[in-house]
Structure 1
Amino acid sequence: MTDPIRWAGSGLETGPLFAERALPLLVKPGNGDPRLAVHLSRLWALAESRLHRHGGLLFRGFQVDGVEEFRAFAEGFGHPLLGYDFGSTPRTQVGEGIYTSTEYPPHQAIPLHNEQAYTREWPMKIWFHCAVAARHGGATPIADSRAIYRRIDPGLRQRFAAKGVMYVRNYGNGLDVPWTQVFNTQDRAQVETYCRAHGIACEWKDDGGLRTRQVCQGVARHPVTGEAVWFNQAHLFHVSNLEPEVRETLLEVLDEADLPRNAYYGDGTPLEAAALAEIRGVLDLETLSFPWREGDVLMLDNMLAAHARAPFEGPRRVVVAMAEPWRLET
């Protein structure tokens, strides 16, 4: 990394975390007061100036006094924190607007994705705070969504742009997050109202489960910078994302239409294996990974930067906040 520089006389030190990569910008408190809350106004100004250029800021070396201080910090950027509506993974709320990171078993990796890119409404800002760093592994890898878009074959980009992605989800039977948790209600009428308002087709199954379908964007343009970004979770939702033995077992007992989740082109036609392989290969090439240090706060523009989770050993506690909803108009 190049030597850090002072930013606008603020006492903050900034510099690249990775040589020749803009993402993320590393920000340190310099020789001043290390308490994160003390620097909020300066960090807000820094984010206004640099976030769209870099896609993400890593605040390192600051003191964060627990979940409440992290919540106040994230909220201090000018937007109320969001709930985890229509979520796709298990999380636990640990404070107002603060959630655990995805609670998958430690040995599992979570592929790169932009938060809630599987729907038509998503947060523009997302923050991660490392309260406890894992003994081994547990990084939150990131990647520039603009660079991913540029590297994807133009023909494949055009297919995703023209067709979009259809996400099919089946809730129930203990195979995925239950619909009561996804929609934060036990009232079927409320689920139907939510789905109508968000362009989601839903149907109640004879076994008491729920199936939803939604056609969403394959690529998108950032509303502020105008830049094109790769913005979908087709590679993550598609059945091929499962371990082969898990996939084979599920397909032995379930029809394809009843899989917990799957993805298709927006017109319902299958996604090609070669297309998914190319997407995953590009994501691998663009992945940037760094070990967490306790106290770190990572702020991402959720459209400009994707994130993931590496497997880990030992205790790990990373909490998440989201803000500034953006909805794609039909």
Structure 2
Amino acid sequence: MTAMTCEEVSRVSALAQPLVFTPKALGPNLAAWIRDNSDALNRQLYEHGAILFRKFKVNGARDFEDVVAALGEPIIEYNNRSTPRTQVRGKIYTSTEYPASETIPLHNENSYSHAWAMKLFFFCVKAPEVGGETPIADSRRVYERIAPAVREEFIRKKVRYVRNYGYLDLPWQEAFQTDNKADVEHSCKSNGIEFEWFDDGRLRTWQTLPAVARHPVTGKDVWFNQAHLFHVSNLGRDLQSALLSSVGEENLPRNAYYGDGTRIDSAALDEVRRAYDAEQIVFPWMAGDVLLLDNMLFAHGRKPFSGARQVLVGMASENRDHGLQPPHDLPT
């Protein structure tokens, strides 16, 4: 690591992830440091999947935008939205604006979509008084931990994501960032999304995608879907019952099925959730921290918190290839 002019000061878990860097000298500019060490940094990212930068100089959203751009890969807009966020500047956004009392399950960003960012950057402007961590989990290890029978059924059948915009989900105008139906239809057709308009202006979409992807650089198979997050079982029992009785299953804000349209047994998704829980790594935020994730190699979430919390997010390097060849261990 000496070639990177930075020392590795701590490892957050026995799995040595994320890799933690702090500067030898006080407060160097993180964007400049990344530009000077981009090749070595990418090698470390492909190996570890997650890197935490601590005690570097990052003063606000403008500096953070420079950090996201420092690897020389295009910064991505937050399109095909599934959660509420606020644009802070350029292509820098707040993290998901859910109530502080809620947990956000571990997931890979936009793995429900045909296009996603390969790299995610998180910048802690203000750490909360209690909680509010961003847990992470190695998607390679999650894949390996899931029971083979469950994993192989998902691989064979894939995942169908269904959304009914409005209700508790985002309105379609916010999700697609337009109030023009023709623009929505063009976006859907361009991204392999089926859609249906209703007489009252409501929109339903659905798309089928692989449950597992192969990383384009490492060649590793990773668990890469949001079935456990979209599925109705992700809601509390009271909310599930209330929604099912009021709008019915087909009109739920969102739900996940197997790709052939059959229901996913909640027990299978519980197996997936147990794998995420077993692999999650949690560390406390410090103001000024920047976390870099390879979005295919590592999932992320959010713990409940109290007190003010401000974490910004930037995304870079779009990918549209799930890796459609059969995973290595799938019988043919």
TM-score of the two chains, using structure 2 as the length reference: 0.94
Change (3 A) 1:37 1:123: closer
**Greater Cα offset, 17-26 or 60-69:** 17-26
**Residue 286 of structure 2 is aligned to residue 293 of structure 1:** yes
Q: Please report how far the alpha carbon of residue 15 of structure 1 lies from its aligned counterpart in structure 2 after TM superposition.
A: 4.8
- Structure 1 stretches lacking a partner, 5+ long: 1-6
Provide the C-alpha distance between the structure 2 equivalents of 1:15 and 1:147, rounded to a whole number of angstroms.
24
Aligned position for 2:28: 34
The equivalent residue for 2:242 is 249
Can you list the C-alpha shifts for 1:283-316, whole angstroms capped at 9, x where unaligned? 1100100010000000000000000000000100
1:317 aligns with 2:302: no
1:64 aligns with 2:58: yes
- 1:191 matched to 2:184: yes
Range that drifts further, 307-316 or 75-84: 75-84
Structure-2 residue corresponding to 1:229: 222
Match of 1:51 in 2: 45
State the one-letter code of the partner of 1:313: S
Q: Residue 3 of structure 1 aligns with which residue? A: none
Cα deviation per residue 1:241-285 (whole Å; 9 max; x = unaligned)?
001111111111011010000000011000012101111111110
Amino acid at match of 1:275: A
- Write the distance in 2 (CA, Å) between the matches of 1:43 and 1:141: 26
Which of 70, 75, 89 in structure 2 is aligned with 1:76? 70
- Counterpart check, 1:155 vs 2:149: yes
Q: Is the deviation greater in 7-16 or in 73-82?
A: 7-16
Residue 2 of structure 2: SS of its match in structure 1? coil
Matched residue, 1:279: 272
Residue 158 of structure 1 and its aligned partner are, at CA, apart by 1.1
**Equivalent residue number for residue 238 of structure 1:** 231
Which AA in structure 1 matches 2:103? A
Q: Given the alignment of the two structures, is residue 259 of structure 1 paired with residue 236 of structure 2, yes or no?
A: no
> How far does residue 38 in structure 1 lie from its aligned partner after superposition?
3.7
Query: 2-side partners of 1:66 and 1:115: how far apart?
Result: 23
- C-alpha RMSD over aligned residues: 1.3
Q: How far is the alpha carbon of 1:33 from its aligned partner?
A: 4.4
| Deviation of 1:37 (Å) | 3.3
Shift of 1:189: 0.5
For the 8 Å contact 1:185–1:191, the answer to whether it is kept is yes
Using the TM superposition, give the Cα deviation of residue 11 of structure 1 relative to its aligned residue in structure 2, in angstroms: 2.7
Q: Structure 1-normalised TM-score?
A: 0.95
Q: Work out the percentage of aligned pairs sharing the same amino acid.
A: 50
Give the paired residue count: 323
State how far apart, in whole Å, the 1-side matches of 2:55 and 2:162 are.
43
SS in 1 for 2:260: coil
